[in-house]
Amino acid sequence: MKKSPGTDEGNEKNKANIGHNPFYLNRELSLLAFNRRVLAQAEHHHIPLLERLRFLCIVSNNLDEFFEVRIASLLATSRSEGGSDAIDSPALTEAFRLTSIECHDIVAQQYAILNKEILPQLSAKGVHLLRHKDRTEAQRAWVKFYFENEIRPLLTPIGLDPAHPFPQVLNKSLNFIVEMTGKDAFGRAATIAIIKAPRVLPRVIRLPDALSPNGISFCLLSSIIHAHIKDLFSGRQILSYYQFRVTRNSELWVDEEEVKNLRQALQSELQSRQFGVAVRLEIAQDCPAHLSNFLLNQFSIDSNRMYAVDGPVNLVRLSEMIDQTALPKLRFPPFTPGLPALLLTDDIFTLLKKKDVLLHHPFQSFQPVIDFIRTAAYDPLVVAIRQTIYRAGMNSDLIESLITAAQSGKEVTVVVELMARFDEEANINWADRLERAGAHVVYGVVGLKTHAKLALVVRRESAASSSANNGGASGLHFYAHLGTGNYHPNTTKLYTDFGLLTANQKLAMEVNEVFIHLTSLTKPKKLDYLWLAPFALQKEIIRAIRNEAEIARQGRPARIVAKMNALLDDSVIKALYAASADGVKIQLIIRGACALRPGVPGLSENITVRSIIGQFLEHTRIYYFRNNLLHDVYLASADWMNRNLFRRVEVAFPVLDKSLKRRVISEGLTPYLKDNVDAWELSSAGNWSKPKRRPRRVAFSAQQHLMALLGGSSESNGG
């Protein structure tokens, strides 16, 4: 008998669904389970040592964001419901209890892997992270000189007394608490001091090679300050000193009804992010209770959110050591993205008149997309360029090309998402430069993040240059790029994504309609190809799911395969459950959080969920519906989350060319369903485990397969 999920469960809200819910898995615990899977990469001995260390850093970075956003959100909910910092809701109390247990366990495992495996093995390979006791006399002399000349002049020790209250401590900054005896220069007995390490100081310092005869040696800034902290308090007896770090609520808030200029409001708000409500304290493991309690009281943090760690309080900073170590044997083998041979012949506009081009990143280069915009910037026939920017990074050749186009008099419109979390400052800077170059810069729709990945080039062409696809008429012709990932020079090398370059006029003109909607705020016209959030995306997804269910009820084969970062939307999950009960085979590839319970009899026995954790971060969103052998394939910027479907501007777009449709299936779905190396499978109980490899079954990694298939050669598959 088919089960019916409750109407108020599984919604993506701040409240957590904790405990054993028969229909939904908890979001926070699912996010932490994803970090467990990433952490497992740091334990794999077949992964090079520096890459294992990088996975540790990634987990720490993810946990930072988990506290800055998810835990901060739960705390805000508890305060709004209880009227204070007390957690009165039983569900929230249980949420904090279970997430606290899991977070503490993950952190303990991180430091155990670091101290017992990775650092000793790196040292055996000639990469040394030296504590004070490990350093030779010559190394100590160099470190002391470095401290006196590079570090001490920038430090400001603050002895606490009524005239020197506890200082403001920046979010995620390195700090020290110092306990002293004796009297200060004015005869007073201040016993506690705080030292803040300025962010201009590097956290990892490489010692001169001449002082490292056995390889490469590094020191942490925290270790150097520790070794010389007594030099900062002459005449005082130092009893103890410990490093600590505070994580704060980093969500930005502006009153969208009152704000007149979003960019100016955000610039002001960015300053306050560093001093949001404290949500976590990390401190050295040997810090005594009276000092840790002192800090907990200063920051108003519950003791359950204190993490006493056996090592540096910020493992993310160890990535600086990775970047400064040029030992190829300790890294993944170098990989060169492929470039489809057809891109080496015609110019991009001539090529696109002949056929669409599909690019699969990072296995294929992102350079053709950059060249598409750069070519448009210098092409005298191009009259307009339009683009969305969600994350672009601090340096971007693509945006530099937009600036060039605007300066040359082309009509350039850029929709910059100022509220892209942790990229706000970079996006504000780009918006300012684009405006000064003469581009039209808008910030999307207030209250909605513009997350769609779109670029449009408008060219005035003669009849002779027009293709049959364009009807042979002269006039304006549209060329578009639609993608699943950001226009970011770094993430395009690390994240898996698809991008489509097309001169299909019907599809490209709908892209133009989306831009008109974003700039004019008018209701978009009916779109025949694009699924646009927040207006139609969820409705179209559920319609396609229900269509497969109807096909199954008629006794015909029905199948759905979907790949994305997260699955949390209640209505979509209910539709998948109903389709499963009707006999639809549903295969989900979910990188991160998943609230759906697979394999529950009568509810989801036809649904499987797997996750791929490999060398690259899986980021592609693909929706596949068999649809009576029409094989509908959509690529999208959106995960199946409430925020994506209703609180963002998102676009899902069809792959219309049959050969490219086959490529998306054969590259983006089939290898990931076949993977038995990097895959994890989700049980109905919410547990993730590595699938058992069948006897005589050859090991198969989807990412390794795609690197071999698409990488390196200009002969790579790709049209």
Mean pLDDT of 534-551: 98
Mean pLDDT of 594-615: 97
The CA radius of gyration of the chain, in Å to the nearest whole number, is: 28
Q: Which comes out higher in pLDDT, residue 225 or 347?
A: 225
Q: What is the residue-wise DSSP string for 399-425?
A: HHHHHHHHHTT-EEEEEE-TTSTT-HH
CB 50 within 8 A of CB 34: no
Instruction: Report pLDDT digits (tens) over 156-199.
Output: 999 887 667 899 999 999 999 999 987 666 666 678 999 999 99
Question: Which whole-number Å values give the CA distances from 333 to 489, 616, 637, in the listed order?
Answer: 20, 13, 30
User: Which pLDDT score, from 0 to 100, does residue 472 have?
Assistant: 46
Q: What band does 242 get if pLDDT is binned at 50, 70 and 90?
A: very high
User: Which pLDDT score, from 0 to 100, does residue 258 have?
Assistant: 47
**What secondary structure, in 3-state letters, does 616-628 show?**
CEECCCEEEECCC
705 counts as catalytic = no
The first and second tokens of residue 38, run together, are 């990433």
User: Which pLDDT score, from 0 to 100, does residue 264 have?
Assistant: 58
**Axis-axis angle for helices 397-407, 367-378 (nearest 10):** 10
Q: Report the share of the chain in percent with pLDDT over 90.
A: 75
Structural domains in the chain? Answer: 27-330 (3.30.1840.10), 341-529 (3.30.870.10), 532-710 (3.30.870.10)
Q: Report the share of the chain in percent with pLDDT over 70.
A: 88
Annotated binding site: 62, 391, 421, 495, 591, 619
Q: What is the residue-wise DSSP string for 469-532?
A: GGTT--EEEEEEEEESS---TTHHHHEEEEEEEE--HHHHHHHHHHHHHHHH-PPPPP-SS-EE
Q: Is the peptide bond before 334 cis (omega within 30 degrees of 0)?
A: no
Residue 152 DSSP one-character state:
G
Quote the CA–CA distance of 566 and 592 in Å, as a whole number.
Answer: 5
Calculate the average pLDDT of the chain. 89
Instruction: Report pLDDT digits (tens) over 461-515.
Output: 986 555 444 444 569 999 999 999 999 989 999 999 999 999 999 999 999 999 9
Q: Which comes out higher in pLDDT, residue 214 or 420?
A: 214
User: Which pLDDT score, from 0 to 100, does residue 468 have?
Assistant: 43
User: Which pLDDT score, from 0 to 100, does residue 81 have?
Assistant: 52
Q: Say which range, 313-317, 432-436, 583-587, 709-713, has the weakest mean pLDDT.
A: 709-713
Annotated binding site for Mg(2+): 391, 421
Q: What band does 694 get if pLDDT is binned at 50, 70 and 90?
A: confident
Mean pLDDT of 413-419: 87
Q: How many CA atoms lie within 13 A of 525 on its CB side?
A: 11
Quote the CA–CA distance of 671 and 675 in Å, as a whole number.
Answer: 6
Instruction: Report pLDDT digits (tens) over 110-164.
Output: 999 999 999 999 999 999 999 999 999 999 999 999 999 999 999 999 988 766 7
Contacts (Cβ under 8 Å, ≥6 apart) of 165: none
Instruction: Report pLDDT digits (tens) over 9-55.
Output: 333 333 334 445 789 999 999 999 999 999 999 999 999 999 999 99
Mean pLDDT of 519-545: 94
The catalytically annotated residue of 128, 228, 361, 451 is 451
Q: Say which range, 305-309, 395-399, 626-630, has the weakest mean pLDDT.
A: 395-399
Q: What band does 253 get if pLDDT is binned at 50, 70 and 90?
A: low
Instruction: Report pLDDT digits (tens) over 666-676.
Output: 999 999 999 99
User: Which pLDDT score, from 0 to 100, does residue 664 have?
Assistant: 98
Mean pLDDT of 3-8: 39
User: Which pLDDT score, from 0 to 100, does residue 21 have?
Assistant: 76
User: Which pLDDT score, from 0 to 100, does residue 11 have?
Assistant: 36
User: Which pLDDT score, from 0 to 100, does residue 262 have?
Assistant: 56
Q: Say which range, 79-93, 549-563, 603-617, has the weakest mean pLDDT.
A: 79-93
